A and B are shown apart, each in its own frame.
Chain A
């Protein structure tokens, strides 16, 4: 059976279309969901896409985290449904306390857009199982509020429990603590990261690689990982 992966559109979401496309290219059925609804339409997994929901007013992701559909997202996450937050979606997950810490303005105050190298630190989550620990990947990064911060106690806990899913390699683009680019929850079903896997899923439209321009498809494994974890859970 084809996995059905929901992509929630919030007011100001920008990458919902790309996230749906990534789901389709990975081999699942994308389901468009709406922030104002309380209906997850029976999907098997969820993507909270990037963008600038509510213009980043109050704090990035803060108002979207109070959306009607987020109560269903919380319940589904608590029951183990795979949930991926990308960029603004990651900001929503920390604002909804589904992941620890917070995201603030980039340390250098500039919006940044670059093809970013990352190291996979945890390959046992629902969204990273198709990677190897220590594997380096390149996917686009584009944000203004990507600086990851948390208390010293929280940092010690997430490092100690292996909850850091991805770390920036080569350059820390936004001043994030410990070069943290993405996190997972204890159960491994909820993952959030600032860079954008959905923009690196199809040859011709991804980051440049040594082999050819725009041929990078390192983001595809996020979505095939989720499909594999759903298949494993159903078996």
Chain B
């Protein structure tokens, strides 16, 4: 059965405390020259068919439930067979 992957990230202009904590740890370890880290969420939705109607439904779910538009952006919706 196909899987629809939804990626959600905290809005770029807002503080991401988790990402900031990881970036701080990487800086302390002096590894890799990483200047910033942001942490988001990946949802894998298993569906019977990835047709247009299902994709439209998933877009709605992603915008209204999986993310909170006040603090997050849906950055990707992708069908993975």
Chain A residues close to B by CB (< 8 Å):
58-59, 62, 66, 94-95, 100-102, 104-109, 147, 149-151, 154, 175
Contact = CB atoms under 8 A, between A and B. Distances in A.
Contact of B70 (A58, A102, A106, A109): A102
A106 B16 CA distance: 10
B74 interface: no
Interface in B1-59: 10, 14-15, 17-18, 21
The 10 closest A-B pairs by CB, nearest first: A102-B71, A102-B70, A105-B17, A109-B21, A109-B17, A107-B17, A149-B14, A102-B68, A59-B68, A104-B71
A149 B10 CA distance: 12
B62 interface: no
Interface of B: 10, 14-15, 17-18, 21, 65-66, 68, 70-71
Looking at B10, B21, B65, B71, which has the most chain A CB atoms within 10 Å of its CB? B71
A66 B14 CA distance: 25
A110 to B, nearest CB: 10
Contacts of B71: 59, 102, 104, 149
Contact of A104 (B17, B21, B65, B66): B17
Contacts of A58: 65-66
A10 to B, nearest CB: 17
B19 to A, nearest CB: 10
Contacts of A108: 17
